[in-house]
Structure 1
Amino acid sequence: MGPSPRLPDVTDTMSSVCDLQDRFRNAIWQFDKLLLTSQKVLRAAKIFQIPIVVTTQNKARLGGIVPELQELTAGAALNVDKTCFSMMVPEVSSHELLMSPEKRSVVIVGIESHICVTQTALDLVLRGHRVYVLADGVSSCNEQEIPVALARLRAEGVIVTTSESWMYETMGDAGVAEFKEVAKLVKESAGDTKTVLTGLLSSRI
């Protein structure tokens, strides 16, 4: 009998949370569902021990990250305020997380799909990174902007997928030690996942 499977190497993976601030709560389409996915992804990142990068957009005017995510992002590797739309500001792009010769896989949740998320994803692709944008983890003020942004990102080489698909791809094998925790997370968030897919993705299928 061979050795037990191991989690694929996630030392080259990073989770990015883009501008999920309380001031945007009433402006972003399906914001509450976006937060459900973000919470799930951050919990998965903790299980996989994936570093997290968080940005806020002009925090002095627009406030900090939403209360629902504060505890989950408390140990973030980077927490950066910016005025630039892309997350790839100097503090992020020059950090050791992104300076390694080994190009990272980066998963992105946040807002807005067609502005900050798109510009961040394209910047990362230009630097040679493998970029995942979660369709159930991004949104915009105007619903109609989202499918246009996702179609553009696919054409530019970004992987557009769902949070659950990304989690299982990251895990790779049901025999790994993390499977039990991930399966528990999936079970606990099953109702939320269905709510998100029914609401946030209903017009994109």
Structure 2
Amino acid sequence: MAASRRLGIYDSSLFICDLQEKFRSAIYEYGRVISTTQKLLKACQILDIPIFATTQLRAKLGETCSELGLDSPEGIKTHAHVDKSAFSMFVPEIRDAFQKLGDEKREVIIVGIESHICVTQTTLDLLREGHKVYIIADAVSSCNKEEVPIALARLRAEGAIVTTSESWLYECMGDASLPEFKQIAGLVKEYNSKTKEGLQALCRF
């Protein structure tokens, strides 16, 4: 049984919101968002955390960024990878796949774009359903950087937890004696400089 099921954050799932190719030049510090998401995807593999992803109007805005490796032959398998027109990720296809994990309320970690639109509406939908939502501040952004702190303040007031990728990873562990801790600590070390750059770019408002 993975560490995340024993200590720290229980019954976790990662939601990846609309990290698509055509947003590369539009979103503030998009490369930092992608890098932090890559780190969290590796952590989810170590901790056996389910992954859900969406695209927004894929035919127009492109596929999920290839470097995330979602559902590629040798990549990371998701529980659902859905195209949508709604702004919230919690569309019927995602909801159905999510409910197959069990009837209990879950802890959902959200990364992606845009902070004030799709991330916000996904968070509000999940909170209304009674789930606990963690928004990873160094893995969300918007076209206009000024939107980000306003969105995060609003969602914090609504009951979401705004935190950072490293804080969340150590909260998952809860105890350095767990067998998964060595791999997570190695992952943190691997991404140390990228994490610092991401925090400086996205968490300084």
- For the criterion TM > 0.5, the same-fold answer is yes
Partner of 1:32: 31
Query: Are residues 71 and 57 of structure 1, via their aligned partners in 2, closer, same or farther at CA, if it must alter by over 3 Å?
Result: closer
- Partners of 2:4 and 2:12 within 8 A in 1: no
For the aligned residue pairs, the C-alpha RMSD in angstroms reads 1.6
SS in 1 for 2:63: coil
Matched, 1:129 2:128: no
* 1:69 maps onto 2:68 in alignment: yes
Contact 1:58 1:82 in 2 (8 A): yes
1:154 and 2:150 aligned:
no
* Whole-Å separation in 2 of the counterparts to 1:98 and 1:141: 34
CA offset digits 1:99-137 (Å, max 9, x no partner): 732111000000000000000001000000010000001
CA distance in 1, matches of 2:112, 2:123: 11
Runs of 4+ in 1 over 6 A off after TM superposition: none
Q: Compared with structure 1, are the counterparts of its residues 96 and 145 closer, same or farther at alpha carbon in structure 2 (3 Å cutoff)?
A: closer
**8 A Cα contact 1:55 1:87, kept in partner:** yes
CA distance in 1, matches of 2:116, 2:98: 27
Structure 2 equivalent of residue 13 of structure 1: 12
- Are the aligned partners of 2:108 and 2:131 in contact in 1 as well (CA < 8 Å)? yes
Does structure 1 residue 44 correspond to structure 2 residue 40? no
- Which among 175, 181, 187 is matched to residue 183 of structure 2? 181
The 1-side partners of 2:184 and 2:166 are apart by: 10
Query: How many residues matched?
Result: 198
Moved more, 102-111 or 11-20: 11-20
Q: Which residue of 2 aligns with 1:3?
A: none
- Of 166, 169, 173, the residue aligned with 1:167 is 169
Cα 1:98–1:132, aligned 2, differ >3 Å: closer, same or farther? farther
In the alignment, residue 154 of structure 2 is paired with which amino acid? Answer: R
| C-alpha distance in 1 between matches for 2:58 and 2:80 | 15
More displaced, 23-32 or 86-95? 86-95
- The correspondence for 1:93, drawn from 89, 92, 95, is 95
Q: Secondary structure at the match of 2:108?
A: strand
What stretches of structure 2 of length at least 5 have no aligned partner?
none
**When the two structures are superposed, what TM-score results if normalisation uses the length of structure 1?**
0.92
Alignment correspondent of 2:53 = 54
Normalised to the residue count of structure 2, the TM-score between the two structures is 0.92
Relative to structure 1, the CA distance from residue 63 to residue 8 in structure 2 (aligned partners, 3 Å threshold; closer, same or farther) is closer
In terms of mean alpha carbon deviation, does 72-81 or 106-115 score higher?
72-81
Residue identity matched to 2:3: L
Q: CA deviation at 1:71?
A: 4.9
Instruction: Give the direction of change, closer, same or farther, for the CA distance of 1:156–1:175 in structure 2 (3 Å limit).
Output: same
Kindly provide the amino acid, as one letter, of the partner of residue 186 in structure 2: K
Q: Secondary structure at the match of 1:134?
A: strand
- Residue 146 of structure 2 aligns with which residue? 144
Whether the 8 Å contact between 1:154 and 1:160 is mirrored in structure 2 is: yes
Contact 1:7 1:173 in 2 (8 A): no
- Describe the SS at the equivalent of 1:131: strand
Partner of 1:78: 80
How far does residue 199 in structure 1 lie from its aligned partner after superposition? 1.4
Kept in 1: contact 2:116–2:151 (CA 8 A): yes
